[in-house]
Structure 1
Amino acid sequence: MRGDPERDPYRPGKADTTGLDRPRKDEVARVLHLFRPHTRTLSVVAVLIAASAVAGVASPFLIREVVDVALPRGDVRLLAWLAAGLVGIVAVSTALDVVQGLLTTRVGQAVMHGLRTSLYTHLQRMSLGFFARTRTGEVQSRIANDIGAMQTVVTSTGADLVQNLATVVVTVVAMLALDWRLALFSFVVLPFSVWLNRRVGRLRRRITAQRQRQLADMSATVEETLSISGVLLTRTTGRTPEVVQRFTRQSDDVARLEVGSEMAGRWQWSLITLTMAAVPALTYLLGGWIRGTGTALSIGTLVALVTLQGQLFRPLGALLRIVVRLHASMALFTRVFEYLDTPVEVEEKPGARTLAAPAGHVRFQDVSFSYPGADRPTVEGITLDVPAGSSLAVVGATGSGKTTLGYLLARLYDVDSGAVTVDGVDVRDLTARSLSDAVGVVTQETFLLHASVADNLRFARPGATDDELRRAARIAQIDDVLSALPQGYDTVVGERGYRFSGGEKQRIALARTVLRDPPVLLLDEATSALDTRTERAMAGALAELSSGRTTITIAHRLSTVRGADQIAVLDHGRVVERGSHAELLAAGGRYAELVAADEARAELVQ
């Protein structure tokens, strides 16, 4: 079940979005939780890492035997065995590293895949309000830039951390076994290095968070200005230079933050590197002094210990850099977790119902709804009954709440009070699939995929045959246009359907809904882009299609609703009139005023 921390490793808790200086323990635990499904594979990796670390520290002991025993004695056979051992250790370590690298890469990619799909699935479940508040480029940046930047951390950094940590621990033990005095002298650099590293890590994390925000802004600019609509807007308003300047500034900010991220702590690291480089020379000096005092210390032990220092400082330096990288990456995880933790406003209930054979009886029962942050309700106290097979037209001035009623029926938002029902069942109690099967929606804002016409139609019903596609297109009065194209139904529509006119796109969208054959048809300004002749032809087709089907038409052009069984007039979110076209005209109220204004506009156009 989504949201259960024991079963969903991608959403086990709440992310902290405020602390940029250091990761909180719950954040770190949450990241580690991502790897929980791969515990068995990671256990094998841990064994391989431990074996590789042990093999790595064996070389200095063999070197000690070469210096103290084989060379002084001139024992060529022993020297050959020792040399073979040194080569064998390298071979074994290399083989272990290859296998370990393969396993960690597989685990890392599995975690990345799970994180991407979990975030995408969660976003698909968000309400329309979330996307109304959030820039598309920002959403794309979280999925592409943020998760993409995590890839190195997730796929290799964890294994590198464990491997270098294991090497450091084993090397420390080996150094203490060789000579505890020289070993302790070697460790004096550690506290200073760790303290300095923590400061660099906090700095990197702040810069990374700023950089990702700038990348999100840049992605949003690209998405807005390089779409078909964006290019048309900038070209027709002559704002291309300003748009280019805006993008240039954002790109410059990203470049500046990238440089800052790379250079953060470089001087500190130079100091650490210098200190580590000086320790071996000082160790030789200390070793010579110890030998001068007459204390037992073989040359082979001194050489072996200095060799181990190299094996200590290399993974230690890598370990410190990995910790800095992990600090920076926590900013990325925080941004992704922030989206994963955004509550789903329109949630499918556990045990939601399915309508086996919906008839299409729609009812709005004392429905009220306000958009977040609105000063007053968008719709208030709406009660409408639409029997199965009948038609309802909802009209009113712009902002009266017409489209909102359609959103509530399709459950793109949930009502604040009251209920919207289909066949007596509250839409909040239905599964999302059952509701979408029962209610087909054609909106004014037509969206077509960058694919062929046939693929766009089959998006609503993947198994539809070619004959069924053509039948739906004929009903929507678009078959003649599509059949006349050189590639027919295989024609690629282009981004957002730019190859077709507004009216053609709306008819394709209508055909897509017709193909689903829903018992309830919701038309939200669905004929707004059609010319008068096409609109009349489609009106006849829709009349045929609406036979036995519940049709709810949200319209601004009143000529399209005269034949509706009932017409509801909205004003400031309330139903002020209801009746047939003839009844409302005879009443001489708000509807009559709207009809007169509509006819006056039509005369001006002619």
Structure 2
Amino acid sequence: MSHADESAFDRYRRDVTRPLARLFREYGTSRARWLTVGLLANLVAQAASLLPPVVLGTAIDSLFGSGTTAYTLPFVPQSVIPPTAEGQFWFSAALIAGSFVVTGAFTWVYGVAANQFAHDVMHAVRTDSFAKLVRLDMTFFDDKQTGEVMAILNNDAGNLETFLDNALMNSLRLVVMVGGIAVVLFTLNWQLALVTLVAVPAIVLLTWWFMRVVAPRYRARQSANAGFNTRIENGISGIELVKTTNSEGYERERVRNASRSLFETTMSVLKLSYFYRPGMELLAGLSFAATFLVGGYWLFTGTAPGPLTGELAVGTFVTFIFMTQRFVAPLAEVSNIVDQVQNARASAERVFGLSDIPVNIEDHDDATVLEDPRGVVAYENVSFAYRDVFGEVASDPVLESVSFETGPGETVAVVGETGAGKSTLLKLLLRLYEPTSGTVRLDGHDVEDLTLSSLRDAVGYVSQDTHLFDGTIAENVRYGRFDASDEAVRRAAKAAEAHAFITDLPNGYETRVGERGVKLSGGQRQRISLARAVLRDPPVLVLDEATSAVDTETERAIQRSLDRLSEKRTTLVVAHRLSTVVDADEILVLDDGRVVERGAHDELVARDGEYAALWNAQTGTADEPLSEGRR
């Protein structure tokens, strides 16, 4: 992949090292109590589960056979064992029953603690990832892949939870079972134990090979899964465009291709797994078969086979058979553990890849809190070109050497052809982007020296791309000022000419608008967005094509309200309809990022330049009388 084709995820994910160790370092340390309880409980439960086969083997040789073998148990002092056969029988029964009770109780403790730890980590990963996401610069979202982000918050966090809850604890269980079984078997008969464990080196080598080969395949599958999510999200969010352009077939093909990629990468993993898993089961099964063959022959003939020496008791052989069965199951599960570990490693790389994307637009260490803002805005020789998330220039200059100043009670309008840089110019005031050169000031402060919260509290922004959240109309108007009273919400709606249509709805202000406000018209959404800005009562109001989706009559009503609202505040307007800015104190005409004309409406029309051409094109007149406000 070339540098130019890399996404932010690709670049920073590539640099993540030891992702699972980092996961424990950043998220496990503060939750070590639950992890420790889970690990210890798992240890006790697995150790207790090994006791019944040992007790059974001892009882067979000492109580149920000839009775000539002394009753002894590994690691149990002889002083606690009853001296009589009857006492030893009841002692054996009590040990077996007690081991099951202990296993069950500590398995429950382990389950609670392990899930508390795993789900708490998953919760923290999701919330931290989203917190980082909303802090990222707008340059990240200009090239966003929503499906990729959703995959991190859902699939990848879920994979980490599975790893912490299942793979981690199962790994411990495997270590305890194999280690404990090995100790017991070597204590009972070290020669037969060597036969039982002969496959372990081959198992270790096969696992090491599998983990090395399968790791890149898991990364490819996670990436394909994110691409599939993106394709689905795009198709659903753009369903209206899909239908109105008769493009259902095209979208089906794109989803089919994304699904095929996910299918192929998944099969690439599974094909390797289908080799590894049977291989593990075969090796574990060979251990059992070798134990049965050698031990059974030893008992059947009464002679130690091959280089083996000594005798083998029936009870010891039974213990070996039971223990080997317990040994086979954990080894057969290694493939599942490896699968979960590799999944988690790929997911952790993606989570930390997102976490490591730098945030360039944030508060400086000595940032100033803007108090009692007046709303004096100044642009001083501002130039701008888009940068990518790596901080490198990614476009030709969008703005060049733009300067103007305005204050409370004044309105500055920015007009020009599509793509002239109008919206970008005003977004610089909110530090959604930062100029490549020049300075944007608010009340004499460079906006880069202000805290983002105080800067954005001072500016009310209404975008041409109106966004409403799935909720009630009242909740959407309150967004950004969540403690506003019902009366304040209504006053803001009236100022935005929204109250009338809201009260006509079946549930009024409690009407749910649907995802992205799909249950409302474009004009209704814009008026709610405008009411949201009015409710915040900022000293600076930025209107980016804020009335583009309303009809002429509503636009005039909104304009009258805006005229009242603008009397004591600074208003910056991006307008395509020049009729909405004829009363602006100053109009800036942008062409290819440069201010080519500036002045009041009548002055610019009389100048017969760029603005006059735009005006004539919209009105169809060459000569326009002076506006009422300027006669």
Both structures adopt the same fold (TM-score exceeding 0.5): yes
- Aligned partners of 2:415 and 2:111: how far apart in 1? 65
Is 1:182 the equivalent of 2:211?
no
- Aligned partners of 2:12 and 2:608: how far apart in 1? 59
The alpha-carbon deviation at position 478 of structure 1 amounts to: 1.6
- Aligned partners of 2:622 and 2:298: how far apart in 1? 105
Which residue of the partner structure matches residue 449 of structure 2? Answer: 429
The alpha-carbon deviation at position 60 of structure 1 amounts to: 3.0
Which residue of the partner structure matches residue 265 of structure 1? Answer: 273
The alpha-carbon deviation at position 496 of structure 1 amounts to: 2.1
- Aligned partners of 1:311 and 1:558: how far apart in 2? 81
Which deviates more from structure 2 when the two are superposed, residues 483-492 or residues 107-116?
483-492
Which residue of the partner structure matches residue 56 of structure 1? Answer: 49
Correspondence list, 1:326-365, <5 A:
326-365=341-380
Query: 1:201 touches 1:325 (CA, 8 Å); kept in 2?
Result: no
Query: 2:49 touches 2:99 (CA, 8 Å); kept in 1?
Result: yes
Which residue of the partner structure matches residue 6 of structure 2? Answer: none
Query: 1:393 touches 1:568 (CA, 8 Å); kept in 2?
Result: yes
Correspondence list, 1:7-22, <5 A:
17-18=13-14
**1:222 is paired with a residue of what secondary structure?**
helix
The alpha-carbon deviation at position 256 of structure 1 amounts to: 4.8
Q: Deviations over 1:557-576 (max 9, x none)?
A: 21111211122222221222
Give the letter for the 1:82 counterpart: S
**2:419 is paired with a residue of what secondary structure?**
coil
The alpha-carbon deviation at position 464 of structure 1 amounts to: 1.7
The alpha-carbon deviation at position 527 of structure 1 amounts to: 1.5
The alpha-carbon deviation at position 593 of structure 1 amounts to: 2.6
Give the letter for the 1:55 counterpart: A
Residue 392 of structure 1, aligned match among 408, 412, 416 = 412
The alpha-carbon deviation at position 366 of structure 1 amounts to: 1.8
Which deviates more from structure 2 when the two are superposed, residues 481-490 or residues 291-300?
291-300
Query: 2:159 touches 2:340 (CA, 8 Å); kept in 1?
Result: no
The alpha-carbon deviation at position 201 of structure 1 amounts to: 3.0
Which residue of the partner structure matches residue 163 of structure 2? Answer: 153
Is 1:37 the equivalent of 2:30?
yes
Which residue of the partner structure matches residue 410 of structure 1? Answer: 430
Cα 1:69–1:379, aligned 2, differ >3 Å: closer, same or farther? Answer: same
Q: Deviations over 1:50-84 (max 9, x none)?
A: 32233233223312321211113563442232122
Which residue of the partner structure matches residue 587 of structure 2? Answer: 567
- Aligned partners of 2:461 and 2:264: how far apart in 1? 47
**2:573 is paired with a residue of what secondary structure?**
strand
Is 1:70 the equivalent of 2:79?
no
- Aligned partners of 1:303 and 1:531: how far apart in 2? 88
Which deviates more from structure 2 when the two are superposed, residues 479-488 or residues 518-527?
479-488
Q: Deviations over 1:208-233 (max 9, x none)?
A: 32332232222222222223xx2221
Which residue of the partner structure matches residue 517 of structure 1? Answer: 537
Query: 1:172 touches 1:312 (CA, 8 Å); kept in 2?
Result: no
Which deviates more from structure 2 when the two are superposed, residues 563-572 or residues 119-128?
563-572
Residue 222 of structure 2, aligned match among 194, 212, 217 = 212
Query: 1:55 touches 1:93 (CA, 8 Å); kept in 2?
Result: yes
The alpha-carbon deviation at position 462 of structure 1 amounts to: 1.3
Query: 1:16 touches 1:27 (CA, 8 Å); kept in 2?
Result: no
Cα 1:589–1:488, aligned 2, differ >3 Å: closer, same or farther? Answer: same
The runs of at least 4 consecutive aligned structure 1 residues that moved more than 6 Å come to none
Correspondence list, 1:78-477, <5 A:
78-227=88-237, 230-287=238-295, 288-289=297-298, 291-293=302-304, 295-372=310-387, 373-477=393-497
**Unaligned segments of structure 2, at least 5 residues:** 1-9, 68-84, 388-392, 624-631
Query: 1:202 touches 1:328 (CA, 8 Å); kept in 2?
Result: no
- Aligned partners of 1:547 and 1:300: how far apart in 2? 98
The alpha-carbon deviation at position 105 of structure 1 amounts to: 0.1
Which deviates more from structure 2 when the two are superposed, residues 585-594 or residues 38-47?
585-594
The alpha-carbon deviation at position 25 of structure 1 amounts to: 5.8
The alpha-carbon deviation at position 107 of structure 1 amounts to: 0.4
Cα 1:178–1:593, aligned 2, differ >3 Å: closer, same or farther? Answer: same
Cα 1:555–1:25, aligned 2, differ >3 Å: closer, same or farther? Answer: closer
Query: 1:391 touches 1:552 (CA, 8 Å); kept in 2?
Result: yes
- Aligned partners of 2:439 and 2:22: how far apart in 1? 39
**1:467 is paired with a residue of what secondary structure?**
helix
Query: 1:112 touches 1:154 (CA, 8 Å); kept in 2?
Result: no
- Aligned partners of 1:267 and 1:223: how far apart in 2? 35
Query: 1:108 touches 1:156 (CA, 8 Å); kept in 2?
Result: no
Give the letter for the 2:495 counterpart: I
The alpha-carbon deviation at position 130 of structure 1 amounts to: 0.8
Q: Between the two proteins, what is the percent identity of the paired residues?
A: 36
The alpha-carbon deviation at position 94 of structure 1 amounts to: 1.3
Cα 1:70–1:601, aligned 2, differ >3 Å: closer, same or farther? Answer: farther
- Aligned partners of 2:121 and 2:582: how far apart in 1? 57
Query: 1:204 touches 1:328 (CA, 8 Å); kept in 2?
Result: no
Query: 1:410 touches 1:435 (CA, 8 Å); kept in 2?
Result: yes
Which residue of the partner structure matches residue 561 of structure 2? Answer: 541
Query: 2:496 touches 2:530 (CA, 8 Å); kept in 1?
Result: yes
Q: Deviations over 1:484-521 (max 9, x none)?
A: 22211111222222232222211111111101101000
Give the letter for the 2:281 counterpart: T
Q: Deviations over 1:399-437 (max 9, x none)?
A: 221111111011111122222111112222222221221
Is 1:594 the equivalent of 2:587?
no
The alpha-carbon deviation at position 522 of structure 1 amounts to: 0.2
Which deviates more from structure 2 when the two are superposed, residues 161-170 or residues 289-298?
289-298
- Aligned partners of 1:208 and 1:238: how far apart in 2? 37
- Aligned partners of 1:601 and 1:584: how far apart in 2? 14
Which residue of the partner structure matches residue 9 of structure 1? Answer: none
**1:451 is paired with a residue of what secondary structure?**
coil
- Aligned partners of 2:601 and 2:91: how far apart in 1? 104
The alpha-carbon deviation at position 397 of structure 1 amounts to: 1.8
Query: 1:50 touches 1:166 (CA, 8 Å); kept in 2?
Result: yes
The alpha-carbon deviation at position 26 of structure 1 amounts to: 2.5
Cα 1:16–1:168, aligned 2, differ >3 Å: closer, same or farther? Answer: farther
- Aligned partners of 1:307 and 1:374: how far apart in 2? 67
Q: Deviations over 1:347-370 (max 9, x none)?
A: 222343222211111111221110
**1:264 is paired with a residue of what secondary structure?**
helix
The alpha-carbon deviation at position 588 of structure 1 amounts to: 3.2
Query: 2:303 touches 2:311 (CA, 8 Å); kept in 1?
Result: no
The alpha-carbon deviation at position 109 of structure 1 amounts to: 0.5
The alpha-carbon deviation at position 307 of structure 1 amounts to: 2.5
Cα 1:154–1:289, aligned 2, differ >3 Å: closer, same or farther? Answer: closer
**1:368 is paired with a residue of what secondary structure?**
strand
Question: What is the RMSD computed on CA atoms of the aligned residues?
Answer: 2.4
Cα 1:53–1:266, aligned 2, differ >3 Å: closer, same or farther? Answer: same
**1:226 is paired with a residue of what secondary structure?**
helix
Cα 1:271–1:477, aligned 2, differ >3 Å: closer, same or farther? Answer: closer
Which residue of the partner structure matches residue 5 of structure 1? Answer: none
Which residue of the partner structure matches residue 506 of structure 1? Answer: 526
Query: 1:200 touches 1:324 (CA, 8 Å); kept in 2?
Result: no
Which residue of the partner structure matches residue 72 of structure 2? Answer: none
**1:546 is paired with a residue of what secondary structure?**
helix
**2:361 is paired with a residue of what secondary structure?**
coil
The alpha-carbon deviation at position 88 of structure 1 amounts to: 1.4
Which residue of the partner structure matches residue 6 of structure 1? Answer: none
- Aligned partners of 1:545 and 1:270: how far apart in 2? 74
Give the letter for the 1:48 counterpart: A
- Aligned partners of 1:499 and 1:284: how far apart in 2? 72
- Aligned partners of 2:140 and 2:35: how far apart in 1? 38
